[in-house]
Amino acid sequence: MKKNLKKLDTKFSKKIDKLLKVKKIKNGFKVLDLFSGCGGMALGFEAIGFKTIGYDNNKDCCLTYEENLNSKCFNLDLNKTNIVEKTDVVIGGPPCQPFSVGGLQKGILDSRDGFPAFLKTIQKVKPKLFIIENVRGLLYKNKWYLDKIINFLFKLNYKIDYQLVNMSEYLVPQNRQRLIIVGYKNSFEFPKKSLQKISAEDVLGNYFDYAPEQSKYLTKSMDNYIKKYETASKCINPRDLKKKEPSRTLTCRNLAGSTSDMMRIKLKNGKRRKLFIREAARLQTFPDWFNFCGSEQSQFYQIGNSVPPMYSYQLALKVLDCLTNKNKKIIRSVRFQPSFL
């Protein structure tokens, strides 16, 4: 589908391609990106001029990171590694399965918990600021664990703020709720909400009427299964992608899996097809020039697990303001919004 991207460009996709270019001239600040994934959060920071270094235990993620960011990504298990490298900022999304609504929510008892390694790194490298991205489940059944994390960070003399953010309010065409925790020494302000909402059509454009030869269509039996599923669950609105609205949350399962919950487009002829890698990437606000490594399933997983680079870009602007104490420029991260489409 790469050769067809040009004719399917939208105003939004063109601006994303330019806005999120990796800056060759750096701003002098270094960022450690823990549990980095393929580099969604790092891309927003690199576009502002930060120098990032990634750490992830998935080889495909590290290959994708290095191919697109021109930065090193170390393929290692952070739970078994001590990082002592000096840095200004630490960012990352510790594995969220222990706190996800769909992940059994065992919290600290879950071996997939990445918070101990993240907190240990904060304690050792003593950054000026850090950002943790995680699922909203940490605010509910596992709220006791969030309190424990915050108390630990308070003892390290950080001021702590956190917000439950819906990415659709920050120029991301997706109703994606995530918890953002920020620790800092002086002052920090979260990005302002946008007056604009970006719809799936703003990002995908003619993809809604486009069916390449390699399209994967849902079978009649799959359509019947979906109909039964939506009837049983009293689903008022079908789960097909809607043109005029942001997408629902992209996850590994609904991108890569053949389930009743899968992300799909309903064509004019009534057929449904699965999303392509490029379509999923656009909904997550990755530029079209951003290449993913590994199998199709691996690429879908990388996209589903990512922080949308468009939101990360706005966070990075606020981080730069915090590090340079340029409070008078606090609104610059939203100045481009009125003419974004």
Helices 296-304 and 59-69, axial angle in degrees (round to 10): 70
252 classed as catalytic: no
DSSP state of 78: G
Determine the Cα–Cα distance for residues 230 and 239; give it in Å rounded to an integer. 8
The catalytic position among 96, 235, 252, 322 is 96
List C-alpha distances in Å: 301 to 105, 122, 143, 145, 298: 20, 27, 27, 26, 5
Specify the pairing of strand 264-266 against strand 272-274: antiparallel
What's the number of CA atoms in the CB half-sphere (13 Å) around residue 275?
30
**For the purposes of burial, counting CB atoms within 10 Å of the CB of 223, is it exposed (0-12), middle (13-18) or buried (19 or more)?**
middle
**Which residue, chain included where needed, has tokens 């309903």?**
266
Determine the Cα–Cα distance for residues 178 and 38; give it in Å rounded to an integer. 18
Determine the Cα–Cα distance for residues 217 and 197; give it in Å rounded to an integer. 29
Determine the Cα–Cα distance for residues 147 and 138; give it in Å rounded to an integer. 10
Mind telling me the catalytic residues?
Answer: 96
